[in-house]
Amino acid sequence: MSQPAPAREKIIRGACPHDCPDTCSMLVSVREGRVTGVQGNPEHPFTAGRLCPKTYQYQERVYHPERVLYPLRRTGEKGRGEFERISWDEALSTIHERWTSIIADCGPEAILPYSYLGTQGLLNGLTVGDAFFNKLGASISERTFCDSGASTAYMMTLGPTPGMDPESFQHSRYIVLWACNMLSTNGHMWKFVKQAQNNGAKLVVVDPAETATSRAADLHIRVRPGTDTALALAMMRVIINEGLVDEDYVGRYTTGYDELVEHVQAYTPEFAAQATGVDADLIREFAREYARSQPSAIRIGVAIERSAGGGQLVRALACMPALVGAWRQPGGGLLQLPLWAFPVNWDRLHRADLADPQTRVINQWYLAGALADDQAGPQTLDPPIRSLFVYNSNPLVVAPDQMKMKQGLARDDLFTVVSEHFVTDTAKYADLILPATTQVEQWDLMFSWGHLYLSLNTPSIEPCGEAVPNCELFRRLARVMGFDDPYFQRDDETLMREALDWDSPALAGITLDGLRETGFARLNFPEAGAFALHAEGNFPTPSGKVEIKASMAAGGNFVLPTFRQGAEAHQEGSPVPALPTWTPPNETAPTAGELAARYPLSMMSPKSHCFLNSQWANHARQLAREGEQQLFMHESDALARGLKTDELVEVFNARGRFTAVLQTGDRAMPGVVIAPMGHWLARSRDDATPAALNPTALADLGQAPTFSDNRVEVRRAAG
Ligand SMILES: Nc1nc2c(c(=O)[nH]1)N[C@H]1C(S)=C(S)[C@@H](COP(=O)(O)OP(=O)(O)OC[C@H]3O[C@@H](n4cnc5c(=O)[nH]c(N)nc54)[C@H](O)[C@@H]3O)O[C@H]1N2
Ligand SMILES: Nc1nc2c(c(=O)[nH]1)N[C@H]1C(S)=C(S)[C@@H](COP(=O)(O)OP(=O)(O)OC[C@H]3O[C@@H](n4cnc5c(=O)[nH]c(N)nc54)[C@H](O)[C@@H]3O)O[C@H]1N2
Ligand SMILES: [Mo]
């Protein structure tokens, strides 16, 4: 730190809790038991002393006047947000009483847990409630919110490898950011990309939208949403047919290449041009440059998976670095989730062994139908859901079919409990709200899905009010439900020791005590940027090679255990083609017929710069920068509808509608509108947000969502 700390100020080493690839090392200043400020740790190579516009005043979340500090019981109608304070004992005994009676009436599967990544820590994050709900016998939540489709495709092709060190991008000669708005969503990686660009590397962004990131690129390729697979397959055809393949690498370290050579012949640049809207000559040029400029690197964003063929797209992209021999050098290859480098004891966290293997599985994208119609996708729910327990998630804003979800949540016979920092849109429908601590009030151990550093978050203050960390919440619930296995009462220290395999080579030289001193440690990989993990193959797939022809595809579609509440990995599913194959989008294909006539525009709902999913959208600073809900539309589409910038418009389809302020210009391409996600219903016009229009249809792999595969129409708002 540059300045000496004032006498009574302490600096505590924390870590950002957010579901973001950057997982920053955070220095928390504390005076007299209060957080006075936070700062990015200058010693952390990724954080490099800087926090983002969401978290740079983290104390404002901790001390927000609307924070939930005590257990609350609903006093008004569901959805009105009227609550009174009660004691923890009363809250817990109410839960015990209601659940005991529901279980007696119709069995524990009538209870549905619902959670995602409000916080990402190994103690309080994704898996914190899994053992408890498995033991209870509740329905199993299949949490495929984020990167489940891409991860499935990546596993099929490359196996669970970190692939590249994100820091090695500084050595790349050619970088493709594919469906990734890095300057907003992965900002701390930018410096490595920028360094490469400064050294003469070319930066290409493949994105239908103009973004801060695309503006910084040397080439912006604007594809129609959900059509990128055609582009990737046509690129492979060019690379193969023009002799740009690294034959030696392909011969040694891939399977299925000969079949691929035949398979891609159908995907001419002209075919891809028609599907994507990208000029055929530009496709050829892009393919040639990508192949010739070694080492070349592809960074895929999570948005890559959000259309019907998202899984095939990621498979195709994961084959490309092998074709051109990019893996041979540091700075070459493909980056998805370096999460796979962390030796997490998933089994110990999920405790799938506590669940009956027959327990019903409900995918979280189906929540609206599950609550309103007893229908979870194709599955009719018997027993119906009688109780919903939400933690680490805000489904009313982040999940599709919002209008129906409101009806479901309003059901009088549904007993809903929400653990939260705030009375969110979802929490307004709760019977009970339980107060949760923020990151500065709890211990946690943080992996990252964007770099190779493990962090320890040390609490800097006592919990505010009667808030508890999620792991304490589940200790309390286990006690009140009479679970006497000591497993359910493990303290934080034990949880941290058991969350990771400390004997794994990846953690060699790293200890909890060491982390207490430093706050973070680099996993035991060679020096940052200096290694090429797959220079000589060694892919963790069944064959040890890049599986262009995926042996795992023979098992059909599946969801990785990471994304479930610990149920077994494989699931009977639709057949999966052996080679990456063009799968057109559901709704946004140019040939979408009657649907396209009624709803001529595609809509995407990407991330907002100043929100983290729906978090921070109730904070004055972030709201002021973000403004109210906007809709970006191409000038020509606006002109055709007689609409002008700053007008209020209604965006609608058969599923719902919301109101937004129109922004015309070049940010959206013709035929595609953009409605950034994250705004709260309570602070939006007409109590609705873009999720009201989003489909519940799932993509081809890993039960990923199809939010970029969505048709809408726009008109001037009434009144
Ligand atoms: N500021 C901020 N940062 C965040 C988050 C946040 O809410 N705000 N959320 C975090 C989370 S949970 C995640 S998963 C990541 C997501 O990180 P990203 O995937 O980078 O985020 P998105 O904004 O959803 O999408 C990135 C870009 O993909 C484009 N896109 C959408 N569909 C397609 C398509 O079919 N093809 C192509 N080529 N491009 C497409 C969008 O136009 C958008 O510009 O960000 C994390 N970081
Ligand atoms: N339209 C559209 N929808 C999307 C996406 C999109 O791009 N477009 N992206 C999808 C993706 S990639 C993701 S990851 C999901 C995100 O889905 P969620 O993880 O549900 O998103 P958040 O809005 O971050 O909601 C988390 C909630 O947990 C609360 N919380 C935070 N910390 C704690 C804690 O310690 N304890 C408890 N009990 N609660 C806590 C927060 O206050 C917040 O209300 O959204 C998905 N939905
Ligand atoms: Mo996400």
Ligand number nearest CA of 398 is 2
CB distance 616 to ligand 1 below 6 Å: no
CB distance 226 to ligand 1 below 6 Å: yes
Ligand number nearest CA of 424 is 2
User: Domain check: are 181 and 328 in the same one?
Assistant: yes
CB distance 622 to ligand 1 below 6 Å: no
Atom of ligand 2 nearest to the CA of 613: 23
User: Domain check: are 175 and 316 in the same one?
Assistant: yes
**pLDDT tens digits along 357-368:** 999 999 999 999
Atom of ligand 2 nearest to the CA of 302: 12
**pLDDT tens digits along 191-215:** 999 999 999 999 999 999 999 999 9
User: Is residue 457 within 8 Å of 439, Cβ to Cβ?
Assistant: yes
Encode burial over 148-168: b for 16+ CB neighbours within 10 A, e otherwise.
Answer: bbbbbbbbbbbbbbbbbbbbb
CB distance 301 to ligand 1 below 6 Å: yes
Above 70 in pLDDT, residue 636? yes
Cα–Cα distance measured from residue 630 to residue 658, given in angstroms and rounded to the nearest whole number:
11
Ligand number nearest CA of 307 is 1
Q: Which helix (H) or strand (E) holds 635?
A: helix 635-640
Residue 43 domain flag: yes
CB distance 607 to ligand 1 below 6 Å: yes
Above 70 in pLDDT, residue 424? yes
User: Domain check: are 94 and 133 in the same one?
Assistant: yes
Determine the distance separating the centroid of ligand 2 and the alpha carbon of 392, expressed in angstroms. 7
The CATH number linked to 32 is: 3.30.200.210
User: Domain check: are 438 and 542 in the same one?
Assistant: no
Tokens matching residue 686: 């007409």
CA-angle at 651, arms to 650 and 655, nearest 5°: 125
Determine the distance separating the centroid of ligand 1 and the alpha carbon of 230, expressed in angstroms. 20
SS3 344: strand
**Residue at 547: amino acid letter:** E
Determine the distance separating the centroid of ligand 3 and the alpha carbon of 704, expressed in angstroms. 11
User: Domain check: are 499 and 538 in the same one?
Assistant: no
Residue of 336, 398, 683 best suited for mutating to test ligand 2, as the one with most atoms within 8 Å of CB:
398
Above 60 in pLDDT, residue 1? no
Ligand number nearest CA of 303 is 1
pLDDT score, position 575: 86
pLDDT score, position 599: 96
User: Domain check: are 232 and 308 in the same one?
Assistant: yes
Nearest-CA residue for atom 29 of ligand 1: 179
Cα–Cα distance measured from residue 53 to residue 622, given in angstroms and rounded to the nearest whole number:
7
Mean pLDDT of all residues in 82-101: 98
Residue 402 domain flag: yes
Tell which residue, 120, 35, 41, has the closest CA to residue 518.
41
Q: How confident is the model at residue 719 (pLDDT cuts 50, 70, 90)?
A: confident
User: Is residue 96 within 8 Å of 481, Cβ to Cβ?
Assistant: yes
User: Domain check: are 538 and 654 in the same one?
Assistant: no
Higher pLDDT, 266 or 562: 266
Residue of 20, 220, 689 best suited for mutating to test ligand 1, as the one with most atoms within 8 Å of CB:
20
User: Domain check: are 515 and 541 in the same one?
Assistant: no
**pLDDT tens digits along 21-32:** 999 999 999 999
CB distance 608 to ligand 1 below 6 Å: yes
With a CB cutoff of 8 Å and minimum separation 6, the contacts of 599 are 653, 654, 711, 712, 713
Residue 584 domain flag: no
Mean pLDDT of all residues in 284-304: 98
User: Is residue 41 within 8 Å of 25, Cβ to Cβ?
Assistant: yes
Cα–Cα distance measured from residue 308 to residue 705, given in angstroms and rounded to the nearest whole number:
8
Residue 571 domain flag: no
The CATH number linked to 677 is: 2.40.40.20
pLDDT score, position 563: 84
CB distance 224 to ligand 1 below 6 Å: no
SS3 647: coil
**pLDDT tens digits along 53-70:** 999 999 999 999 999 999
The CATH number linked to 108 is: 3.40.50.740
Tokens matching residue 522: 């680099």
**Residue at 146: amino acid letter:** C
> What is the DSSP secondary-structure string of 572-606?
------SS------SS-STT-HHHHHHS-EEEE--
Strand runs labelled E in 150-263: 174-178, 202-206, 219-221, 254-255
pLDDT score, position 421: 98
User: Domain check: are 206 and 296 in the same one?
Assistant: yes
User: Domain check: are 549 and 623 in the same one?
Assistant: no
Ligand number nearest CA of 62 is 2
Report the percentage of the chain scoring pLDDT > 70: 98
Atom of ligand 2 nearest to the CA of 395: 20
pLDDT score, position 570: 52
Nearest-CA residue for atom 44 of ligand 2: 394
Atom of ligand 2 nearest to the CA of 391: 38
| 615: DSSP letter | B
Residue of 302, 393, 583, 625 best suited for mutating to test ligand 1, as the one with most atoms within 8 Å of CB:
302
Determine the distance separating the centroid of ligand 3 and the alpha carbon of 364, expressed in angstroms. 14
> What is the DSSP secondary-structure string of 264-307?
GGG--HHHHHHHH---HHHHHHHHHHHHHSSSEEEEE-GGGG-S
Tell which residue, 607, 602, 628, has the closest CA to residue 714.
602
Determine the distance separating the centroid of ligand 1 and the alpha carbon of 261, expressed in angstroms. 32
pLDDT score, position 8: 84
Provide the number of structural domains found in the chain.
Answer: 4
Atom of ligand 2 nearest to the CA of 418: 38
**Residue at 715: amino acid letter:** R
Q: Is 595 exposed, middle or buried (0-12, 13-18, 19+ CB in 10 A)?
A: middle
- Long-range residue pairs from 69-75, CB within 8 A, at least 24 positions apart, any chain: 69/435, 69/464, 69/465, 69/466, 69/467, 70/435, 70/465, 70/466, 71/432, 71/433, 71/434, 71/435, 71/466, 72/423, 72/430, 72/432, 72/433, 72/435, 73/431, 73/432, 74/430, 74/431, 74/432
Q: How confident is the model at residue 567 (pLDDT cuts 50, 70, 90)?
A: low
Residue 348 domain flag: no
- Residue 553: φ, ψ to 5°: -65, -25
The CATH number linked to 331 is: 3.40.228.10
User: Domain check: are 381 and 492 in the same one?
Assistant: yes
Residue 447 domain flag: yes
User: Domain check: are 218 and 321 in the same one?
Assistant: yes
SS3 149: helix
Encode burial over 321-330: b for 16+ CB neighbours within 10 A, e otherwise.
Answer: bbbbbbbbbb
pTM of the model: 0.97
Tell which residue, 317, 364, 338, has the closest CA to residue 705.
364
**Domain range enclosing 537:** 149-340+532-553
Cα–Cα distance measured from residue 15 to residue 28, given in angstroms and rounded to the nearest whole number:
9
Mean pLDDT of all residues in 541-554: 96
pLDDT score, position 568: 61
**pLDDT tens digits along 370-400:** 999 999 999 999 999 999 999 999 999 999 9
Residue 336 domain flag: yes
Q: Which helix (H) or strand (E) holds 379?
A: strand 379-380
Cα–Cα distance measured from residue 301 to residue 527, given in angstroms and rounded to the nearest whole number:
25
Q: What are residue 303's DSSP bridge partners? A: none
Residue 351 domain flag: no
Tokens matching residue 502: 């400390």
Tokens matching residue 501: 């395999």
pLDDT score, position 566: 67
Q: Provide the pairing of β-strand 10-15 with 25-31.
A: antiparallel
Above 60 in pLDDT, residue 5? no
**pLDDT tens digits along 229-278:** 999 999 999 999 999 999 999 999 999 999 999 999 999 999 999 999 99
